[in-house]
Amino acid sequence: KNQVEQSPQSLIILEGKNCTLQCNYTVSPFSNLRWYKQDTGRGPVSLTIMTFSENTKSNGRYTATLDADTKQSSLHITASQLSDSASYICVVSARSNYQLIWGAGTKLIIKP
């Protein structure tokens, strides 16, 4: 069964600190993996997309990594800001039919 598991479920860190969110998937055949940021009361917004051949991709203070062999991805946030408080969702696309499998998200809280 195609699944996406994210950890931790929630995380609280102090402003200025770094953090790493994890995503494990069992989707096959794999097409790409995306990270979305969802602010409270808003729809998700795309942060980055990674294909099979990409290991690392950065978007400002966000850096995503992908290990297609172990089927793991991580999202690293550097020098966190209060505005980073949100849920971060990992989404994997199956190559066969554009099916998207969504993780339940990690809720990140940044404290001043």
Partner 1 sequence: DAGITQSPRHKVTETGTPVTLRCHQTENHRYMYWYRQDPGHGLRLIHYSYGVKDTDKGEVSDGYSVSRSKTEDFLLTLESATSSQTSVYFCAIRGTGADEKLFFGSGTQLSVL
What SS3 class is residue 97? coil
Residue 112 touches partner 1, criterion: CB under 8 A: no
Nearer to partner 1, 5 or 15 (CB): 5
Closest to partner 1 by CB, 62 or 102:
102
Where in 12-41 is the site for partner 1 (CB under 8 A)? 32, 34, 41
- Supply the minimum distance, in Å, between the C-beta of residue 112 and partner 1: 26
Nearest to 19 by CA among 63, 59, 71, 49: 63
C-alpha distances in Å from residue 41, one per residue of 11, 37, 44, 78, 86: 19, 12, 10, 24, 10
CB of 11 vs partner 1, minimal distance in Å: 16
d(CA 97, CA 70) in angstroms, rounded, equals 23
Please tell me whether residue 1 binds partner 1 under the rule CB under 8 A. Answer: no
- Contact (Cβ atoms closer than 8 angstroms) between residue 14 and residue 98: no
Binds partner 1 (CB under 8 A): choice among 66, 89, 108, 110: 89
Residues near partner 1, by CB under 8 A: 4, 32, 34, 41-46, 49, 89, 91, 98, 100-105
